[in-house]
Chains A and B, each alone.
Chain A
Amino acid sequence: MAEERKHTTVSIPLPLYRKIKERIEGTGFTSVSDYVTYVLREVLASLEEDQKEEVFSEEEEEKVKERLRALGYLD
Protein backbone atom coordinates (compact mmCIF):
# COMPACT_ATOMS: atom_id res chain seq x y z
CA MET A 1 0.00 0.00 0.00
CA ALA A 2 2.99 2.27 -0.47
CA GLU A 3 1.95 5.65 -1.83
CA GLU A 4 2.87 5.96 -5.48
CA ARG A 5 3.90 9.28 -6.91
CA LYS A 6 1.27 9.96 -9.51
CA HIS A 7 1.83 13.60 -10.39
CA THR A 8 2.87 15.51 -13.45
CA THR A 9 4.22 19.00 -14.02
CA VAL A 10 2.08 21.79 -15.46
CA SER A 11 3.59 25.16 -16.35
CA ILE A 12 2.00 28.38 -15.17
CA PRO A 13 3.31 31.92 -15.64
CA LEU A 14 5.83 32.93 -13.00
CA PRO A 15 3.94 36.07 -11.87
CA LEU A 16 0.85 33.93 -11.31
CA TYR A 17 2.92 31.44 -9.35
CA ARG A 18 4.22 34.27 -7.14
CA LYS A 19 0.71 35.66 -6.60
CA ILE A 20 -0.57 32.26 -5.52
CA LYS A 21 2.42 31.70 -3.26
CA GLU A 22 1.70 34.99 -1.56
CA ARG A 23 -2.01 34.24 -1.33
CA ILE A 24 -1.64 30.87 0.37
CA GLU A 25 0.64 32.14 3.14
CA GLY A 26 -1.00 31.46 6.48
CA THR A 27 -3.72 29.27 4.94
CA GLY A 28 -4.01 25.50 5.15
CA PHE A 29 -2.39 25.10 1.72
CA THR A 30 1.20 23.98 2.00
CA SER A 31 2.24 24.51 -1.62
CA VAL A 32 1.21 26.22 -4.84
CA SER A 33 0.62 22.77 -6.31
CA ASP A 34 -1.89 21.95 -3.54
CA TYR A 35 -3.73 25.19 -4.19
CA VAL A 36 -3.81 24.76 -7.95
CA THR A 37 -5.05 21.17 -7.53
CA TYR A 38 -7.83 22.39 -5.22
CA VAL A 39 -8.94 25.11 -7.59
CA LEU A 40 -8.89 22.84 -10.64
CA ARG A 41 -10.95 20.19 -8.87
CA GLU A 42 -13.48 22.84 -7.93
CA VAL A 43 -13.68 24.21 -11.47
CA LEU A 44 -14.05 20.76 -13.04
CA ALA A 45 -16.72 19.77 -10.52
CA SER A 46 -18.76 22.88 -11.30
CA LEU A 47 -18.49 22.20 -15.05
CA GLU A 48 -19.69 18.62 -14.51
CA GLU A 49 -22.52 19.98 -12.42
CA ASP A 50 -23.88 21.66 -15.56
CA GLN A 51 -23.88 18.38 -17.48
CA LYS A 52 -26.58 16.54 -15.53
CA GLU A 53 -28.32 13.80 -17.44
CA GLU A 54 -30.76 11.03 -16.59
CA VAL A 55 -29.03 7.97 -15.22
CA PHE A 56 -31.82 5.55 -16.09
CA SER A 57 -33.82 4.67 -19.19
CA GLU A 58 -37.54 5.38 -19.64
CA GLU A 59 -38.25 1.67 -19.32
CA GLU A 60 -36.36 1.46 -16.03
CA GLU A 61 -38.13 4.56 -14.80
CA GLU A 62 -41.57 3.09 -15.51
CA LYS A 63 -40.70 -0.10 -13.65
CA VAL A 64 -39.53 1.91 -10.66
CA LYS A 65 -42.69 4.02 -10.71
CA GLU A 66 -44.79 0.86 -10.50
CA ARG A 67 -43.07 -0.12 -7.26
CA LEU A 68 -43.29 3.42 -5.87
CA ARG A 69 -47.02 3.43 -6.59
CA ALA A 70 -47.43 0.05 -4.92
CA LEU A 71 -45.68 1.40 -1.82
CA GLY A 72 -47.95 4.45 -1.81
CA TYR A 73 -45.20 6.96 -2.55
CA LEU A 74 -46.70 7.99 -5.89
CA ASP A 75 -50.32 8.45 -6.98
Chain B
Amino acid sequence: MVNRPHGGRLINRTLSQKTTQRVMDEIKEYGRMDIKEVNAVDVGSIADGTYSPLTGFMTSDELGSVLSKMRLPDDVPWTIPVVLDVNRELMDFDEGETIILYYNGEPLARMHVDELFSFDRKEYARSVFGTNDEAHPGVKRVMELENTLVGGEVEMMGELPNPYKDYTLTPMETRVLFKERGWKTIVAFQTRNVSHVGHEFLQKTAATFVDGLFINPVIGKKKAGDFKDEVILKTYDELIRNYYPKAMTHMSILRYEMKYAGPKEAIHHAIMRKNFGCTHIIIGRDHAGVGNYYGPFDAQEIFKEFPDLGMEPMAFQAFYYCHRCGNIVNSKICDHDRQFHDSLSGTKMREMIRTGEVPEPYHMRKEVFEVIRSFDKPFLE
Protein backbone atom coordinates (compact mmCIF):
# COMPACT_ATOMS: atom_id res chain seq x y z
CA MET B 1 0.00 0.00 0.00
CA VAL B 2 1.20 3.53 -0.77
CA ASN B 3 2.13 6.03 1.94
CA ARG B 4 -0.56 7.17 4.36
CA PRO B 5 -1.75 10.77 3.95
CA HIS B 6 -0.10 13.43 6.09
CA GLY B 7 -1.89 13.64 9.42
CA GLY B 8 -3.52 10.27 8.74
CA ARG B 9 -6.51 11.36 6.65
CA LEU B 10 -6.85 12.39 3.00
CA ILE B 11 -8.94 15.52 3.00
CA ASN B 12 -11.74 16.06 0.50
CA ARG B 13 -13.35 19.48 0.79
CA THR B 14 -15.38 19.45 -2.41
CA LEU B 15 -19.10 20.12 -2.16
CA SER B 16 -21.44 17.66 -3.84
CA GLN B 17 -23.25 18.84 -6.99
CA LYS B 18 -26.50 18.96 -5.05
CA THR B 19 -25.09 21.17 -2.28
CA THR B 20 -23.28 23.34 -4.80
CA GLN B 21 -26.57 23.93 -6.59
CA ARG B 22 -28.27 24.84 -3.32
CA VAL B 23 -25.49 27.31 -2.47
CA MET B 24 -25.73 28.79 -5.97
CA ASP B 25 -29.48 29.26 -5.51
CA GLU B 26 -28.87 31.20 -2.30
CA ILE B 27 -25.64 32.87 -3.33
CA LYS B 28 -26.85 36.42 -2.78
CA GLU B 29 -27.29 35.65 0.91
CA TYR B 30 -23.55 35.15 1.37
CA GLY B 31 -20.79 37.71 1.82
CA ARG B 32 -18.31 37.96 -1.03
CA MET B 33 -14.54 37.93 -1.22
CA ASP B 34 -12.56 38.10 -4.45
CA ILE B 35 -9.31 36.19 -4.21
CA LYS B 36 -6.01 36.15 -6.08
CA GLU B 37 -4.65 33.29 -8.18
CA VAL B 38 -2.30 32.09 -5.43
CA ASN B 39 -5.24 31.82 -3.00
CA ALA B 40 -7.42 30.09 -5.59
CA VAL B 41 -4.71 27.50 -6.17
CA ASP B 42 -4.46 27.00 -2.39
CA VAL B 43 -8.23 26.44 -2.24
CA GLY B 44 -7.83 23.72 -4.87
CA SER B 45 -4.99 22.08 -2.91
CA ILE B 46 -6.98 22.15 0.32
CA ALA B 47 -10.06 20.73 -1.39
CA ASP B 48 -8.39 17.84 -3.21
CA GLY B 49 -6.21 16.82 -0.26
CA THR B 50 -2.83 17.98 -1.56
CA TYR B 51 -2.57 20.00 1.67
CA SER B 52 -3.98 17.26 3.96
CA PRO B 53 -4.60 17.54 6.89
CA LEU B 54 -5.49 21.22 6.32
CA THR B 55 -9.20 21.85 5.83
CA GLY B 56 -9.00 25.59 5.35
CA PHE B 57 -6.89 28.71 5.62
CA MET B 58 -4.91 28.95 8.82
CA THR B 59 -6.22 30.58 11.99
CA SER B 60 -3.91 32.59 14.28
CA ASP B 61 -3.36 29.54 16.47
CA GLU B 62 -2.29 27.44 13.49
CA LEU B 63 -0.14 30.17 11.97
CA GLY B 64 1.59 30.87 15.29
CA SER B 65 2.32 27.19 15.75
CA VAL B 66 3.70 26.80 12.20
CA LEU B 67 5.92 29.87 12.53
CA SER B 68 7.30 29.05 15.96
CA LYS B 69 7.42 25.24 15.92
CA MET B 70 7.18 24.18 12.26
CA ARG B 71 4.17 22.10 13.35
CA LEU B 72 0.40 22.38 13.41
CA PRO B 73 -1.15 22.73 16.87
CA ASP B 74 -1.70 18.93 16.98
CA ASP B 75 2.05 18.36 16.46
CA VAL B 76 1.81 17.36 12.79
CA PRO B 77 4.85 18.72 10.88
CA TRP B 78 4.03 21.78 8.74
CA THR B 79 6.49 24.47 7.70
CA ILE B 80 4.80 26.83 5.22
CA PRO B 81 1.80 29.03 6.17
CA VAL B 82 -1.33 28.72 4.06
CA VAL B 83 -3.09 32.02 4.60
CA LEU B 84 -5.74 34.19 3.02
CA ASP B 85 -5.20 37.95 3.28
CA VAL B 86 -7.80 40.70 3.04
CA ASN B 87 -7.88 44.46 3.42
CA ARG B 88 -10.00 44.97 6.55
CA GLU B 89 -11.15 48.42 5.37
CA LEU B 90 -12.57 47.00 2.15
CA MET B 91 -14.21 43.80 3.33
CA ASP B 92 -17.93 43.47 3.97
CA PHE B 93 -18.10 40.40 6.23
CA ASP B 94 -17.22 39.52 9.79
CA GLU B 95 -16.16 36.60 11.98
CA GLY B 96 -18.76 33.85 12.20
CA GLU B 97 -20.15 34.50 8.72
CA THR B 98 -20.06 32.12 5.79
CA ILE B 99 -18.85 33.75 2.60
CA ILE B 100 -18.20 32.84 -1.01
CA LEU B 101 -14.72 33.10 -2.42
CA TYR B 102 -14.73 34.31 -6.02
CA TYR B 103 -11.91 33.84 -8.48
CA ASN B 104 -11.97 35.59 -11.86
CA GLY B 105 -15.51 36.70 -11.03
CA GLU B 106 -16.78 33.11 -10.59
CA PRO B 107 -17.77 31.45 -7.29
CA LEU B 108 -15.00 29.04 -6.35
CA ALA B 109 -15.58 28.04 -2.73
CA ARG B 110 -17.64 28.52 0.37
CA MET B 111 -15.72 29.58 3.46
CA HIS B 112 -16.69 29.81 7.09
CA VAL B 113 -14.89 32.81 8.62
CA ASP B 114 -13.66 31.47 11.95
CA GLU B 115 -11.31 34.32 12.61
CA LEU B 116 -10.06 37.65 11.29
CA PHE B 117 -6.68 38.56 12.69
CA SER B 118 -3.74 40.85 12.19
CA PHE B 119 -0.20 39.54 11.97
CA ASP B 120 3.40 40.65 12.01
CA ARG B 121 4.76 40.52 8.46
CA LYS B 122 8.38 40.71 9.60
CA GLU B 123 8.00 37.86 12.07
CA TYR B 124 6.23 35.83 9.38
CA ALA B 125 8.98 36.47 6.83
CA ARG B 126 11.86 35.90 9.21
CA SER B 127 10.39 32.67 10.47
CA VAL B 128 9.63 31.17 7.04
CA PHE B 129 12.50 32.56 4.97
CA GLY B 130 15.13 33.22 7.63
CA THR B 131 15.46 36.81 6.44
CA ASN B 132 13.59 40.10 6.19
CA ASP B 133 15.43 41.11 3.05
CA GLU B 134 12.83 42.28 0.56
CA ALA B 135 15.11 41.31 -2.31
CA HIS B 136 14.04 37.75 -1.45
CA PRO B 137 10.96 37.07 -3.63
CA GLY B 138 9.13 35.22 -0.86
CA VAL B 139 9.74 38.00 1.67
CA LYS B 140 8.57 40.55 -0.88
CA ARG B 141 5.27 38.70 -1.29
CA VAL B 142 4.75 38.52 2.47
CA MET B 143 5.42 42.26 2.81
CA GLU B 144 2.79 42.85 0.12
CA LEU B 145 0.09 40.85 1.95
CA GLU B 146 -2.96 42.80 3.09
CA ASN B 147 -3.26 43.77 6.76
CA THR B 148 -5.66 41.03 7.89
CA LEU B 149 -5.77 37.26 7.57
CA VAL B 150 -8.96 35.24 7.28
CA GLY B 151 -8.90 31.84 8.96
CA GLY B 152 -11.48 29.14 8.44
CA GLU B 153 -12.54 26.02 6.59
CA VAL B 154 -13.25 26.03 2.87
CA GLU B 155 -15.41 23.87 0.61
CA MET B 156 -14.78 24.01 -3.09
CA MET B 157 -17.80 24.36 -5.34
CA GLY B 158 -16.31 25.44 -8.65
CA GLU B 159 -13.35 24.43 -10.75
CA LEU B 160 -10.14 26.31 -11.30
CA PRO B 161 -9.48 27.17 -14.93
CA ASN B 162 -6.93 24.55 -15.98
CA PRO B 163 -5.29 24.41 -19.42
CA TYR B 164 -3.58 21.15 -18.42
CA LYS B 165 -6.49 19.01 -17.26
CA ASP B 166 -5.11 15.83 -18.81
CA TYR B 167 -1.87 16.34 -16.92
CA THR B 168 -3.66 16.88 -13.62
CA LEU B 169 -4.32 14.09 -11.12
CA THR B 170 -5.59 14.62 -7.59
CA PRO B 171 -3.97 12.81 -4.65
CA MET B 172 -6.80 10.30 -4.66
CA GLU B 173 -6.21 9.62 -8.36
CA THR B 174 -2.45 9.14 -8.01
CA ARG B 175 -3.06 6.85 -5.04
CA VAL B 176 -5.38 4.64 -7.08
CA LEU B 177 -2.95 4.70 -10.01
CA PHE B 178 0.02 3.72 -7.84
CA LYS B 179 -2.01 0.97 -6.20
CA GLU B 180 -3.13 -0.42 -9.57
CA ARG B 181 0.46 -0.44 -10.76
CA GLY B 182 1.52 -2.29 -7.63
CA TRP B 183 3.87 0.44 -6.46
CA LYS B 184 4.54 0.59 -2.74
CA THR B 185 7.61 2.78 -2.69
CA ILE B 186 7.49 5.86 -4.89
CA VAL B 187 10.02 8.64 -5.27
CA ALA B 188 8.83 12.12 -6.22
CA PHE B 189 10.81 14.53 -8.34
CA GLN B 190 9.85 18.17 -8.07
CA THR B 191 10.83 20.37 -10.98
CA ARG B 192 10.16 23.77 -12.50
CA ASN B 193 12.44 23.39 -15.49
CA VAL B 194 12.92 21.36 -18.63
CA SER B 195 15.07 18.34 -18.03
CA HIS B 196 18.76 18.17 -18.81
CA VAL B 197 20.77 14.97 -18.67
CA GLY B 198 21.87 15.70 -15.10
CA HIS B 199 18.22 15.67 -13.99
CA GLU B 200 17.62 12.43 -15.84
CA PHE B 201 20.49 10.70 -14.07
CA LEU B 202 19.33 12.08 -10.75
CA GLN B 203 15.82 10.68 -11.28
CA LYS B 204 16.98 7.34 -12.61
CA THR B 205 19.51 6.86 -9.81
CA ALA B 206 16.76 7.46 -7.23
CA ALA B 207 14.25 5.31 -9.13
CA THR B 208 16.63 2.35 -9.01
CA PHE B 209 15.78 1.86 -5.35
CA VAL B 210 11.96 2.15 -5.46
CA ASP B 211 8.94 0.79 -7.33
CA GLY B 212 7.89 3.99 -9.09
CA LEU B 213 9.07 7.43 -10.19
CA PHE B 214 6.62 10.30 -9.90
CA ILE B 215 7.73 13.33 -11.94
CA ASN B 216 5.74 16.27 -10.64
CA PRO B 217 6.45 19.58 -12.40
CA VAL B 218 5.22 22.73 -10.70
CA ILE B 219 2.88 24.64 -12.96
CA GLY B 220 1.96 28.21 -12.20
CA LYS B 221 3.28 31.69 -11.75
CA LYS B 222 6.93 31.94 -12.67
CA LYS B 223 9.47 34.63 -13.52
CA ALA B 224 10.10 36.21 -16.92
CA GLY B 225 12.81 34.22 -18.68
CA ASP B 226 11.63 30.87 -17.27
CA PHE B 227 10.46 28.14 -19.63
CA LYS B 228 6.74 28.19 -20.38
CA ASP B 229 4.72 25.44 -18.68
CA GLU B 230 3.78 23.93 -22.03
CA VAL B 231 7.45 23.59 -22.98
CA ILE B 232 8.26 21.83 -19.71
CA LEU B 233 5.43 19.33 -20.17
CA LYS B 234 6.12 18.60 -23.84
CA THR B 235 9.82 18.05 -23.22
CA TYR B 236 9.07 15.63 -20.38
CA ASP B 237 6.54 13.79 -22.56
CA GLU B 238 9.21 13.28 -25.18
CA LEU B 239 11.87 12.33 -22.66
CA ILE B 240 9.67 9.76 -20.93
CA ARG B 241 8.50 8.33 -24.26
CA ASN B 242 12.05 7.78 -25.47
CA TYR B 243 14.13 7.07 -22.42
CA TYR B 244 12.13 6.08 -19.32
CA PRO B 245 10.69 2.71 -18.31
CA LYS B 246 6.95 3.30 -18.79
CA ALA B 247 5.85 0.76 -16.20
CA MET B 248 7.59 2.64 -13.41
CA THR B 249 7.22 6.27 -14.46
CA HIS B 250 4.33 8.67 -14.11
CA MET B 251 4.15 12.42 -14.64
CA SER B 252 1.39 14.75 -13.58
CA ILE B 253 1.50 18.37 -12.55
CA LEU B 254 1.31 20.28 -9.29
CA ARG B 255 -0.38 23.67 -9.37
CA TYR B 256 1.53 25.70 -6.87
CA GLU B 257 3.29 29.02 -6.49
CA MET B 258 6.90 28.62 -5.43
CA LYS B 259 7.81 30.41 -2.20
CA TYR B 260 11.61 30.00 -2.49
CA ALA B 261 11.78 29.17 1.24
CA GLY B 262 14.64 26.67 0.78
CA PRO B 263 14.72 24.08 3.60
CA LYS B 264 11.25 24.82 4.97
CA GLU B 265 9.77 24.60 1.51
CA ALA B 266 11.56 21.28 0.93
CA ILE B 267 9.54 19.88 3.85
CA HIS B 268 6.37 21.37 2.35
CA HIS B 269 7.19 19.79 -1.02
CA ALA B 270 7.65 16.46 0.73
CA ILE B 271 4.29 16.76 2.53
CA MET B 272 2.43 17.47 -0.72
CA ARG B 273 4.05 14.47 -2.42
CA LYS B 274 3.31 12.28 0.60
CA ASN B 275 -0.35 13.14 0.08
CA PHE B 276 -0.02 12.00 -3.54
CA GLY B 277 1.09 8.64 -2.09
CA CYS B 278 4.86 8.98 -2.41
CA THR B 279 7.27 7.57 0.15
CA HIS B 280 10.46 9.35 -0.96
CA ILE B 281 11.41 12.69 -2.45
CA ILE B 282 14.54 13.72 -4.31
CA ILE B 283 16.22 16.67 -2.65
CA GLY B 284 19.04 18.11 -4.68
CA ARG B 285 21.43 20.95 -4.11
CA ASP B 286 19.78 24.17 -2.88
CA HIS B 287 16.28 22.74 -3.25
CA ALA B 288 13.65 25.52 -3.45
CA GLY B 289 16.37 28.07 -2.84
CA VAL B 290 16.99 31.45 -4.37
CA GLY B 291 20.09 33.65 -4.40
CA ASN B 292 22.47 32.86 -1.53
CA TYR B 293 19.96 32.80 1.31
CA TYR B 294 20.41 29.13 2.14
CA GLY B 295 23.33 26.75 2.34
CA PRO B 296 23.54 24.27 -0.56
CA PHE B 297 22.53 21.32 1.63
CA ASP B 298 20.24 23.02 4.19
CA ALA B 299 17.20 21.54 2.46
CA GLN B 300 18.64 18.04 2.96
CA GLU B 301 19.68 18.62 6.57
CA ILE B 302 16.29 19.88 7.77
CA PHE B 303 14.71 16.44 7.29
CA LYS B 304 16.66 15.25 10.36
CA GLU B 305 14.45 17.51 12.49
CA PHE B 306 11.30 15.61 11.48
CA PRO B 307 11.52 11.96 12.52
CA ASP B 308 7.74 11.74 12.17
CA LEU B 309 7.44 13.27 8.68
CA GLY B 310 6.77 9.93 7.02
CA MET B 311 8.81 10.83 3.93
CA GLU B 312 12.37 9.78 3.18
CA PRO B 313 14.53 12.36 1.44
CA MET B 314 16.85 11.02 -1.23
CA ALA B 315 19.63 13.53 -1.01
CA PHE B 316 21.91 14.01 -3.98
CA GLN B 317 24.67 16.31 -5.03
CA ALA B 318 24.49 17.82 -8.50
CA PHE B 319 25.18 15.53 -11.44
CA TYR B 320 27.53 16.66 -14.19
CA TYR B 321 29.54 15.25 -17.08
CA CYS B 322 33.16 14.46 -16.27
CA HIS B 323 35.48 14.37 -19.30
CA ARG B 324 37.93 12.11 -17.45
CA CYS B 325 35.27 9.63 -16.34
CA GLY B 326 33.57 9.95 -19.72
CA ASN B 327 30.29 9.74 -17.90
CA ILE B 328 27.57 11.55 -15.98
CA VAL B 329 28.66 11.53 -12.33
CA ASN B 330 28.39 13.47 -9.09
CA SER B 331 31.05 14.60 -6.67
CA LYS B 332 30.51 11.57 -4.45
CA ILE B 333 31.61 9.17 -7.16
CA CYS B 334 34.15 11.34 -9.01
CA ASP B 335 37.11 13.17 -7.53
CA HIS B 336 38.62 14.45 -10.77
CA ASP B 337 39.59 18.07 -10.85
CA ARG B 338 36.93 20.65 -11.62
CA GLN B 339 38.61 21.45 -14.95
CA PHE B 340 37.20 18.13 -16.24
CA HIS B 341 33.66 18.85 -15.08
CA ASP B 342 31.04 20.01 -17.51
CA SER B 343 27.94 21.01 -15.59
CA LEU B 344 24.69 22.27 -16.99
CA SER B 345 22.56 24.52 -14.84
CA GLY B 346 19.10 25.71 -15.78
CA THR B 347 20.52 29.19 -16.36
CA LYS B 348 23.26 27.91 -18.67
CA MET B 349 20.74 25.78 -20.54
CA ARG B 350 18.42 28.73 -21.13
CA GLU B 351 21.35 30.81 -22.35
CA MET B 352 22.34 28.12 -24.88
CA ILE B 353 18.80 27.97 -26.22
CA ARG B 354 18.64 31.76 -26.54
CA THR B 355 21.88 31.97 -28.45
CA GLY B 356 20.99 29.02 -30.68
CA GLU B 357 23.87 26.91 -29.41
CA VAL B 358 23.19 23.17 -29.81
CA PRO B 359 23.77 21.37 -26.50
CA GLU B 360 26.10 18.37 -26.37
CA PRO B 361 24.33 14.98 -25.98
CA TYR B 362 25.66 14.80 -22.43
CA HIS B 363 23.98 18.14 -21.69
CA MET B 364 20.57 17.55 -23.16
CA ARG B 365 18.78 14.83 -25.11
CA LYS B 366 18.30 15.82 -28.74
CA GLU B 367 14.56 15.09 -28.49
CA VAL B 368 14.25 17.61 -25.67
CA PHE B 369 16.19 20.20 -27.61
CA GLU B 370 14.02 19.62 -30.70
CA VAL B 371 10.86 20.21 -28.67
CA ILE B 372 12.22 23.46 -27.28
CA ARG B 373 13.26 24.55 -30.78
CA SER B 374 9.75 23.84 -32.07
CA PHE B 375 8.43 26.71 -29.95
CA ASP B 376 8.81 30.23 -31.37
CA LYS B 377 8.94 31.63 -27.87
CA PRO B 378 9.80 28.96 -25.29
CA PHE B 379 10.38 31.49 -22.51
CA LEU B 380 7.99 33.64 -20.50
CA GLU B 381 8.17 37.31 -21.34
Residues of A within 8 A of B (CB): 1-4, 6, 28, 38-39, 41-42, 44-45, 48-49, 51-56, 60-61, 64-65, 67-68, 71, 73-74
Q: Given A2-B64, A55-B175, A73-B177 in contact, is the A48-B8 Cβ separation under 8 Å? A: yes
**Is the CB–CB distance between A1 and B172 below 8 Å?**
no
Q: CA separation between A4 and B60, bound complex, in Å?
A: 12
Contact partners of B213 in chain A: CB under 8 A: none
**Is the CB–CB distance between B176 and A56 below 8 Å?**
yes
Contact partners of A54 in chain B: CB under 8 A: 1
Q: Given A38-B307, A45-B307, A49-B310 in contact, is the A1-B176 Cβ separation under 8 Å? A: no
**Is the CB–CB distance between B177 and A56 below 8 Å?**
no
Does residue B381 face the partner (Cβ distance < 8 Å to A)?
A: no
New A-B contacts (17) at CB < 8 Å, excluding given A41-B308, A49-B310: A1-B64, A1-B67, A3-B68, A42-B307, A45-B309, A49-B4, A53-B4, A55-B5, A55-B9, A56-B10, A60-B172, A64-B172, A64-B173, A67-B173, A68-B169, A68-B177, A73-B250
Q: List 13 A-B contacts (CB under 8 A).
A: A1-B60, A1-B67, A1-B68, A6-B73, A48-B4, A55-B5, A56-B10, A56-B175, A60-B172, A64-B176, A67-B173, A71-B166, A74-B180
Contact partners of A41 in chain B: CB under 8 A: 75, 307-308
Q: CA separation between A23 and B148, bound complex, in Å?
A: 46
Contact partners of B60 in chain A: CB under 8 A: 1
Does residue B120 face the partner (Cβ distance < 8 Å to A)?
A: yes
Contact partners of B173 in chain A: CB under 8 A: 64, 67-68
Tally of A-B residue pairs with Cβ under 8 A?
66
Nearest chain-A residue to B77 (Cβ)?
A41
Does residue B375 face the partner (Cβ distance < 8 Å to A)?
A: no
**Is the CB–CB distance between B4 and A52 below 8 Å?**
yes
Contact partners of B64 in chain A: CB under 8 A: 1-4
Contact partners of B169 in chain A: CB under 8 A: 68
Q: How far is the CB of B324 from chain A (nearest CB, A)?
A: 38
Task: Tell which of A6, A52, A56, A65 touches B180, judged by Cβ atoms closer than 8 Å.
Answer: A65
Q: Given A52-B4, A55-B175 in contact, is the A1-B307 Cβ separation under 8 Å? A: no
Q: How far is the CB of B364 from chain A (nearest CB, A)?
A: 27
Does residue B123 face the partner (Cβ distance < 8 Å to A)?
A: yes
Nearest chain-A residue to B2 (Cβ)?
A52
Does residue B197 face the partner (Cβ distance < 8 Å to A)?
A: no
Contact partners of A61 in chain B: CB under 8 A: 176
Can you list, as one digit per residue, whether each of B340-353 has a CB less than 8 Å from chain A (1) or not (0)?
00000000000000
Contact partners of A65 in chain B: CB under 8 A: 176, 180
